[in-house]
Amino acid sequence: MAETTATALPRGFRNAELGWPQLDRIPHPPHRLPFIGDVLGADRRRPLQDSMRFGRLLGPIFRRKYFSREIVFVWGGRLAADLADESRFAKHVGLGVANLRPIAGDGLFTAYNDEPNWQLAHDVLAPGFSREAMAGYHPMMLDVAERLLDRWDTEQAGGRAVNVPGDMTKLTLETIARTGFGHDFGSFERSRPHPFVTAMVGTLTFAQRRNVVPEPLSSLMLRDAARRNEADMAYLNHTVDELVRARRTGDGSGDLLDRMLETAHPETGERLAPGNIRRQVITFLVAGHETTSGALSFALHYLSRHPDIAARAREEVDRVWGDAARPGYEQVARLRYVRRVLDESLRLWPTAPAYAREARHDTVLDGVHPMRRGAWTLVLTPLLHRDPEVWGADAERFDPDRFEAGAVRARLAHTFKPFGTGARACIGRQFALHEATLVLGLLLRRYELRPDPGYRLRVAERLTVIPEGLRLHLDRRAAVAGTPAAVDETPSAPSGARCPVTGRGD
C-alpha cells in the first residue's frame, strides 16, 4: 500500500553514509582516492558488468563510490532472501529507475511507494493479466510470431544469418502493441528499427549515462545527450497520445488500453487520469517488449551453443504439439523443459539486471548490517543468480535442469528474481513468460540453430541487457507431422518453478 504523505521518505539520491551506521564494515574496491572515490578504472559503458567484477572480488555485500555518491550493492543469496521480507523492506525507486520518471512518471514501474496511482493502476490492470485474459491474447501472439517465421524463412532461404536481438525486438514490440493497445507498428515491414524503438533505446541509454556522470558535471558532459533525450521523450509522448486519441474515437477491444480508459477501481470508483494513462502506456510498451526481447535473444544464444539441450527441447515441442498447425494456449503451458531453458537463460542474464530495496524502518540486514529507515541497496541479480552457495560450484554453467521441480524445492527461496520481488514485482511476468515460451517452441519446431563460430557473447547495457551483435544461421527442419500431442493431465504451471514474487511454487 502507498505510504501516507506524513511518513513518506525523502525523494532523490540518498547516500549510503546516511543510512548504514556501520558502513566501514562493508568492503570497497582497493585504491580508493579522495574526492573521486572508486572512479579510476571503472567501465562507464558497462557499469553493471563492472560492478559484477567487483562483486566477485569483494563478496556478497560491497560498496562503490562515484565522486560524492556511495552505493551499497548486494548479491548474496541469504542477504537477498532477507531483503524480500515485505514487512521490513520495500521497492526503492532510485538510480536509473528514477531517471526514467521524466517520461514514465508515476507509472507502475517508476512510481514512488507513496504515490496513490500505483495502487490504483495495479488494481485496475491486474485482471488484464489473468488466465482468462492471457488465453485471449494467445491468438494475437501467434499472429505476430508467424510474421517472424515468415521473415526468418526468407532469410534462411537466402542463406543469410538472422539478426536475433533486432528481430526479437520487432516481435515483442508488435506483440505488446497488438495485444495491449490494438496497434500495429509495422516493424517487420521496416528495414530499420521503428522510430519508437530508437527513441526508447535513447531514453534508456540516457538514464544509464546519468548514473555514471557526477551531478556537478552532468549539465556540461550530457548537454547534447540531454537535448536528444528531450526529443526522444517528445516522440514517445506524441506516439502514445496519437494511439490513445485513435482509441477514444474508435471502437474498444477489451484490451489493456480499454481498461485504462473505461475501468473504475472496483472499490473506490476512481479512474486513471489522462496523464497517468499516457505514462502507463509508455511503461507497458517499453517494459513489455525490451526485457522480453533480451530474454528470447539470450535463450536462443544458449540453445545454439548447446545442441544437446536444443534437441531435448525440440523433442518436447514435437511430442506435446504434435502436428497442430497453431498450438493452443494450454499446449504452451505444457512445454516444461522449454520453460526451463527460458528460466536458465534468465538466471544467467536477467534482462532487468538489478532491483533496489529500502528499509521501511530501522532494521538489521541478515542479522549483521544495521540499516536506518530509508537506507537502500541495489541487488545485482546476475550475481545473485550465480551465488555458488545457492546454485553450486558450477553456477556459471548453462543447465536448465536447475529448474526441475525437485531442484527448485530444495533451493533457498527468493534467490531467483528476474522480475523483481514483492508487491512491486513485474505485473506482466506471466504475459512475458507465455509469449517467450510460445516463440521458443515455434522456432525450435521450425529450425535448427547454428551459431557463428567466431561469436563470443558480448552484453550491451542500457538499463536492460541484451546480447550484442548476435546472429544465427538457420537450417529448416523437415516438417513434423503425424505425431500425436501428448496427453498431460498435470496442472499447467510450467517446470515447477517458484513464483518470482514469493519464491514459492505457483
Choosing from 291, 351, 381, 437, the catalytic residue is 291
How far apart, in whole angstroms, are the C-alpha atoms of residue 122 and residue 419?
Answer: 16
CA 289 centroid distance within chain: 9
User: Which of 128, 118, 133 is closest to 270 using CA atoms?
Assistant: 118
Examine the residue annotation and report whether 291 is marked as an active-site residue of this protein: yes
CA dihedral 434→92→395→462, nearest 10 degrees, is 70
Cell representation of residue 440: 521458443
How far apart, in whole angstroms, are the C-alpha atoms of residue 247 and residue 245?
Answer: 5
With vertex at residue 98, the alpha carbon angle to CA 220 and CA 104, rounded to the nearest 5 degrees, is 105
Write out the H or E segment, with its range, that includes residue 223: helix 223-248
User: Which of 347, 292, 291, 319 is closest to 444 using CA atoms?
Assistant: 319
The 3-class secondary structure across 373-394, one letter per residue, is CCCEEEEEHHHHCCCHHHHCCC
How far apart, in whole angstroms, are the C-alpha atoms of residue 315 and residue 305?
Answer: 17
Residue 65: strand, helix, or coil: strand
Name the burial class of residue 416, with classes exposed (0-12), middle (13-18) and buried (19+) by CB atoms within 10 angstroms of its CB: buried
Pairing of strands 69-74, 376-380: parallel
Choosing from 73, 283, 426, 464, the catalytic residue is 426
CB atoms within 10 A of CB 501: 20
Examine the residue annotation and report whether 426 is marked as an active-site residue of this protein: yes
Give the strand order in the sheet containing 471-476: 162-163, 471-476, 447-451
Residues marked as catalytic = 291, 419, 426
